[in-house]
Structure 1
Amino acid sequence: MSTFSHLNAQGEANMVDVSEKSDTARSALAKGYLVVSQAVIEGIATQSVKKGDVFAVARVAGIQGAKRCADLIPLCHPLALSKVDINFAVDDANRRIEVTCLCKVTGKTGVEMEALTGVNVALLTLFDMCKAIDPGMRIEGVGVVDKQGGKSGHWQAGSNT
């Protein structure tokens, strides 16, 4: 008998049964960074990146990534997301682009994996669109920073609860 939630009694991978859980409003906010060269920041600012509007394309990619999370992560439940919001902030001083992904759902399970997938797909898309300018970019600091709903209530990164 296993104490892991995603293993059955025989130790095999198993999707958790959430059928008895109540539907509640849930949200998760994930964040990550793409560390870039000054040339990338300038290319984005002047809209001279040859592949086009990097933020528009990465936003759509991130939304699509969040929606397809259960297709990518084997034991995630498919969710009918009610909101996916991808945002970008250019941090000139630290030569990086911050990407956030907020996901919301009313359901039986949380949306942390969807928010993380959305952030990662948006970051990978930014990388793809800018790699001709700077192949040495790197993704860092990806994580959930806030989640609400369900049995555990509200949690924020850095809090002890």
Structure 2
Amino acid sequence: MGLTHIDQHGRASMVDVTGKQLSVREAKAEGFIQMSESAFRMLLEQKHKKGDVLATARIAGIQGAKKCADLIPLCHPLALTKVAVDFELIPQSHQVRVYSLCKLQGQTGVEMEALTAVSVALLTLFDMCKAEDPMMEIYGVRVLAKSGGKSGDWERTE
């Protein structure tokens, strides 16, 4: 099988999905940010100077998913019907898990949108907390599951 984003002349090309069947597509992704105890405590107590960190990161993640085609070359602009960004606060390790869900009925998958939602939310958390802890670490950004389309459904099992 050849590369899908390269034309017969070796040039970058957006994949033509015109003939693909419409199906409900869904993708879930996650990522983590680890911060100092003081930065985490400020997050819990909503004491960061930039305001409501989690609310801002949620909105940023949703906006990121909607702008994915503007950020990632050759991604199709998609009419997303659902974008959700949620957080799990992990006090014992001063981490925040960011989780996203993207969904639509269309001709191509939404994995890139789910990954972008997580990434932008994590970057926003970093930006809003960096005054207290510039040494934070973002890691573990990955797709957890996808459904719909010709390649079928799968879910990360580890």
> What amino acid is the match of 2:73?
P
Deviation at 1:4, TM superposition (A): 0.5
Between the aligned partners of 2:56 and 2:94, the Cα distance in structure 1 is: 20
Between the aligned partners of 2:147 and 2:38, the Cα distance in structure 1 is: 38
Q: What's 2:29 paired with?
A: 30
Please, what is the CA RMSD of the aligned residues? 1.1
Structure 2: any 5+ residue segments left out of the alignment? Answer: none
1:105 is paired with a residue of what secondary structure?
A: strand
1:143 is paired with a residue of what secondary structure?
A: strand
Between the aligned partners of 1:137 and 1:46, the Cα distance in structure 2 is: 18
Structure 1: any 5+ residue segments left out of the alignment? Answer: none
Q: What's 1:123 paired with?
A: 122
> 1:93-121 CA deviation, whole Å, 9 max, x = no partner?
22210001100010000000000000000
Mean Cα deviation higher: 118-127 or 145-154: 145-154
Between the aligned partners of 2:50 and 2:18, the Cα distance in structure 1 is: 45
Q: What's 2:87 paired with?
A: 88
> What amino acid is the match of 2:90?
D
2:41 is paired with a residue of what secondary structure?
A: helix
Q: What's 1:65 paired with?
A: 64
Between the aligned partners of 1:106 and 1:20, the Cα distance in structure 2 is: 15
Deviation at 1:136, TM superposition (A): 0.2
1:93 is paired with a residue of what secondary structure?
A: helix
Between the aligned partners of 2:39 and 2:84, the Cα distance in structure 1 is: 23
> What amino acid is the match of 2:13?
N
Q: What's 2:110 paired with?
A: 111
2:29 is paired with a residue of what secondary structure?
A: strand
Deviation at 1:158, TM superposition (A): 3.2
Between the aligned partners of 1:73 and 1:44, the Cα distance in structure 2 is: 30
Q: What's 1:54 paired with?
A: 53
Between the aligned partners of 2:41 and 2:101, the Cα distance in structure 1 is: 27
Q: What's 1:75 paired with?
A: 74
Matches for 1:132-147 after TM superposition, within 5 Å: 132-147=131-146
Between the aligned partners of 1:36 and 1:149, the Cα distance in structure 2 is: 36
2:85 is paired with a residue of what secondary structure?
A: strand
TM superposition score normalised by structure 1: 0.96
2:143 is paired with a residue of what secondary structure?
A: strand
> 1:18-43 CA deviation, whole Å, 9 max, x = no partner?
00001100100000000111111110
Between the aligned partners of 1:97 and 1:113, the Cα distance in structure 2 is: 21
